[in-house]
Structure formats: C-alpha cells, structure tokens
Amino acid sequence: MVKVVTDSTAYLEPGVAEELGISVVPLNIHFGDEILRDGIDITVPEFFRRLDRGLEMPTSSPPSRSTFEEVYDELGKTTDEIISIHVSSKLSQTCAVANAAATPILGRCNIVVVDSLTTSLGLGILATAAAKAAAQGKHLDEIVRLLRGIIPHIYVVFFVETLDYLERGGYIGRAQAILGSMLGIKPLLIIEEGEIVPLEKVRTRSRAVDKLFEFVVEFSHIEQMAILQKSPVATEETLLLIERLEMVLPDIEFPITTYGPVLATHVGPNTMGVIVYEGMV
C-alpha cells in the first residue's frame, strides 16, 4: 500500500494522521538561537503566546534531510511506494529537502514528492485525500493524478494586521510597509500558484471581512471550507462572518481552523482568512 508523508504545516483534525497512517514531518521554528520542532517542541498556542510578547521575530526552516531519510527508510520497510506532499515551495524549502532525501532511496522505493502550492487546511485536504485513496488500494500514479486535479481547486485568501512580516519576507518593500502602516492599510492577500500575492487593499478590518465574505459567495460549489485564524475561539468578527455566510450558504459548514507557526512567520499574528476547496464538479 502507498504510504503518505506530509509536514507539520498541514492542518489535520486530531487523530486523523494516526487513523489514516499519515506520517507528519515537523518543520523548525527559530526564536533567535533556539530551534523548536513545530508541533513537537512547541504548540500553536505556545507559539502565539511568545509572538504576542514581541521579544523576537521568529523564522522557520525545513526539516533536515536526515529527518526525511529516517521517515522514508522506516516506511520503506513495509512499502515500495511513498507519496510525500508538502507546503508550497514558494513558502518553504521543504519540497527541495524531501527530494534530496528521496533521491538515494529511489532504487529500492518509489518516492514522489508533490508541491501542494498551499499550506494549512489546503495541505491537510490533499494529505487526507491521498491517504484515503491509498487505503482504497489506488496505485502511486493514480494518487499523484488525483492530487494534481485537486490542487488548482484550493483557494486561500487572508488579510494581515501588520505589514512587518510581509516586509521581512520580501513580499513588500520597506517603503511600502512604512506607508501602508501610516495609512492603516490591511492588504488582502491570496496564495496563487503557491505564492503569497496582493489581491486588494482595504483600510479597516471590517472592510477586509466584507471582502472575505464576497470572495466566498462567488463560488457556485464548495466542497469544504474553513475560516483561518490564530485561535480556535471565534471572535466577534468571525461570528459575524459565519452568520452572513450561513444566510447565503445554509448547507455549508464553516469551521474555524488555526494557522500554524510556519505560516505565521510569513504573515504575523492576528491574520484572518478563508480556505475554500471548491471540489471537482
């Protein structure tokens, strides 16, 4: 049976990885000289508590090659087919490290590394789909085709409270960040072809929430979606957005999904967004 590997940026409901046999490789979070494994040495709430204290700006790095090699070697004892699905290569070097780790093993195990071009729930949807297909006895090439079909149908749109993280990540220039902060601009961003790109500029959080609502209701078919924020506890804004969405889309559920430390190093705290999987009609 095909074995599935993903990374800690994937949002999976508790127990799903164990139930479906998905191996999750942790990325690294850096606070100064301190290196913590995402989801193992630091949880999402702990990360945001440290971030809120504002003592140091965190960064992230991919898992080491040896970490991937250990996972592939272990799985290779029970299978000769592995699919390794990871956070967008535009946000992390995880795919590159996974490919480097897979190369020496390819003679005895067929490993395909898939760039999800997304993260969070989007990556979780892909890993889950792959694991379910594997459990149904699908072959590696069939699962790869399945994922290639799903990827273009996953959309992530969000707005940020502070421009500092986007500036540090090279998404905007210093002058843009200063001017944007002075004007109180909250950019609406989209993950497009795996990259964070500007979609629109708004001045207030309430207007940004309006834009999220407008984005979601444009879809004629929604297979799955979630509201993205740093805490699982619904805020006043979140409740308002859900209430408005339920009026227009009464048959859709709108769960709250927390985004993790790795995405937070790119967009900062107090980000709010939506992830939509429109399904393949």
105-150: per-residue pLDDT in tens?
888 899 999 999 999 999 999 999 999 999 999 999 999 999 999 9
Quote the pLDDT of residue 173.
47
Task: List beta partners, residue 156.
Answer: 275
CB 69 within 8 A of CB 105: yes
Query: What pLDDT is attached to residue 203?
Result: 75
SS3 69: helix
pLDDT higher at 266 or 220: 220
pLDDT at 171 over 70: no
Confidence at residue 167, expressed as pLDDT on a 0 to 100 scale: 55
C-alpha closest to that of 157 among 127, 184, 185, 118: 118
Q: What is the model's pLDDT at position 266?
A: 79
Is 90 exceeded by the pLDDT of residue 94? yes
Residue ranges of domains in the chain: 3-152, 154-277
Measuring CA to CA, how many Å separate 56 from each of 31, 47, 53, 147, 163? 7, 12, 8, 37, 16
- Take residue 159 and report the two structure tokens written for it: 């707005």
pLDDT at 176 over 70: no
Q: 187 CB contacts (<8 Å, ≥6 apart)?
A: 159, 160, 163, 166, 172, 180, 198, 199, 200, 201, 202
| β-sheet bridge partners, residue 123 | none
262 — pLDDT class (breaks 50, 70, 90): confident
Cα separation, 97 vs 94, in Å, equals 5
pLDDT given at position 59: 87
CA distance 186 to 226: 21
Q: Which of 37-41, 52-56, 193-197, 249-253 has the lowest mean pLDDT?
A: 52-56
Q: What span, in angstroms and rounded, lies between the C-alpha atoms of 97 and 268?
A: 25
> What's the CATH number of domain 154-277, 1.10.10.10, 3.40.1350.10, 3.40.50.11290, 3.30.1180.10?
3.30.1180.10
* Mean pLDDT for the chain overall: 88
Domain 3-152: which CATH number of 3.40.50.300, 3.10.20.30, 3.40.50.10170, 1.10.3720.10? 3.40.50.10170
Backbone angles phi, psi at 268, to 5 degrees: 80, 180
Overall average pLDDT of the 252-270 stretch: 87
| Choice between 179 and 8, residue whose per-residue pLDDT is larger | 8
Separation of alpha carbons 116 and 133, rounded Å: 17
Between CA 248 and CA 270 the distance in angstroms is 26
Residue 181 above 80 pLDDT? no
Q: What percent of the chain has pLDDT over 90?
A: 64
Provide the edge-to-edge strand list for the sheet that holds 110-115: 22-25, 3-7, 81-86, 110-115
What pLDDT sits at residue 189? 83
Mean pLDDT (whole number) for 210-220: 94
pLDDT tens digits for range 155-164: 999 987 766 6
Q: Is 51 exposed, middle or buried (0-12, 13-18, 19+ CB in 10 A)?
A: buried
Range name among 52-61, 67-76, 164-173, 185-194 with the lowest pLDDT average: 164-173
| Token code pair at residue 77 | 């004892």
Confidence of residue 23 (pLDDT cuts 50, 70, 90): very high
Enumerate helices (H) and strands (E) in the chain, giving the number of each: 11, 13
H helices present in 136-235, as ranges? 140-150, 164-168, 174-183, 205-217
pLDDT band at 57 (very low <50, low <70, confident <90, very high): confident
Per-residue confidence (pLDDT) for residue 159, from 0 to 100: 87
- Of residues 202 and 37, the one with the higher pLDDT is 37
Residue 174 is predicted with a pLDDT of: 45
- Angle (deg, nearest 10), helices 140-150 and 120-135: 150
Pairing of strands 34-37, 154-159: unpaired
In this prediction, residue 183 carries a pLDDT of: 46
6 near 131, Cβ under 8 Å? no
Amino acid (1-letter code) at residue 165: Y
The pLDDT assigned to 108 comes to: 87
Instruction: Check if 3-152 and 154-277 are the same fold.
Output: no
